[in-house]
Amino acid sequence: MDQATSPNLPAKTIYCYRSAVPLASVTALCTHGWPLLNSFQAKLVHPIYEMPLSKLIVKLKDHLQLAEQSEWLVKDSELLEVKLCMSAIMHSIDAIWQAPAASKQHVPSLPSTTVAIGSAARLLNLASWYHYLTSKRLSFPLYRVSVHNNNSEWQNFSSWLDDANSIRDEWEQGRGELETQEELRRRNAALLTVKAENIYKRIDFTKVWNWIDIQIATEYVAGRRETFKQLFMKGDVAPEDWVADDVDDLVEAVLTCCDTGNEITHFIHTRLNHIRAIIADFYGSFTLLNTVAKTDAHPDTVQTKKEQEFFDEIDKKVDSLEALPPAPKRESFASMAHFLKAQAQYNLLVRRWNIRKGE
């Protein structure tokens, strides 16, 4: 008879090394096969332990919702899933002590039904918070299951959760203190650079912006703050990219979110007023060009003194030319506003050329 079909060959149940949940029933097909299988026992674990923390959180949340909806009148298989999720989460966040392989101290375990019902929601909350930490330098105390601790079914797990949540609170408080210190550091750096500006006539706008950014971050998303930053840093060198309303929006953000009434905000408002004036001047000159163009087309219109001065400048340029330059092209300008302004200037130059040259 073939050995694989022999009824005398014993079968053995393989259990999860961590949870003691049965995984499979196997039959050894070779002499002394069981010692070989036993040597792999420490590597044989339930597939749930391979899931990432994000999926474990979702899985446990779904099971808890179903259990709570039925007031925990659920099947044993559903309770087992909750227990397995709890164990897998503890391993995923490196918060459960693991004895060396084949050690006599190793105790495969799962929380009891009472512990699962009472503590699963708290563990879910803790794991969700940990998952969204930007830094994983935080570590929880190791929960140790041992027959000597009389906690083979996690009887004292609620105490571990209390300790872990205390560490979480301390972490949050410490992070808050760090953020406060960072805000103070940025404020002092901004204040020093503003004061230095009065002496050296140079200033590091980045330091001042960092002071603004850390305060408006609670109210404005990253993309909006980046737009504000570009306006604050470069609004005076690229006025064609902005309008006065943009400046007003940034002023409102500063007044709403930032500590006011100090030298830093005084400097900020001075700079924003300067940027607003440059934007107004840029569009004012553009408006003047359009007004002059209309006046030139209708000689009966009374010219203002400013317009006449503008004509005089154009006429001087015409008198110095032997021929008209080529018309401006869009690709030669960084922005449409600059191109339109150059085009208006060129059209005026052509008109005045025709008048001056008698053509």
Domain ranges of the chain: 47-155, 177-280, 302-356
pLDDT value, residue 56:
95
* Look-up of token digits 């803790």: 126
Which letter does DSSP use for residue 96 in this model? B
Instruction: Return the sign of the alpha-carbon dihedral for residues 256, 261, 265, 269.
Output: positive
pLDDT value, residue 60:
94
Helix or strand run (H / E) with residue 24: strand 22-27
* Look-up of token digits 């929380």: 111
**Closest CA relative to residue 239, chosen from 287, 275, 273, 268:** 275
Residues forming beta bridges with residue 143, ordered by sequence position: 96
pLDDT value, residue 53:
92
Burial environment of residue 208 by CB neighbours within 10 A (0 to 12, 13 to 18, 19 or more): buried
Question: Considering the entire predicted model, what is its pTM?
Answer: 0.48
**Closest CA relative to residue 47, chosen from 59, 38, 39:** 59
Residues forming beta bridges with residue 24, ordered by sequence position: 14
Average pLDDT of adjacent 10-residue blocks, the chain of 359 residues: 51 85 80 64 83 93 86 85 95 86 77 88 91 72 84 89 87 66 65 52 73 84 91 83 85 83 77 85 59 48 58 76 80 69 74 70
Residues forming beta bridges with residue 27, ordered by sequence position: 11
Residues near 179 by beta carbon (within 8 Å), at least 6 away in sequence: none
**What residue spans of the chain are helical by DSSP H?**
33-39, 53-69, 76-92, 113-131, 157-200, 205-216, 222-234, 244-257, 263-297, 305-319, 336-356
Q: Are 301 and 294 in contact (CB under 8 A)?
A: yes
Q: How far apart are CA 336 and CA 329, in angstroms?
A: 10
CA distances from 245 to 203, 224, 237, 280, 284 (A): 25, 14, 17, 11, 15
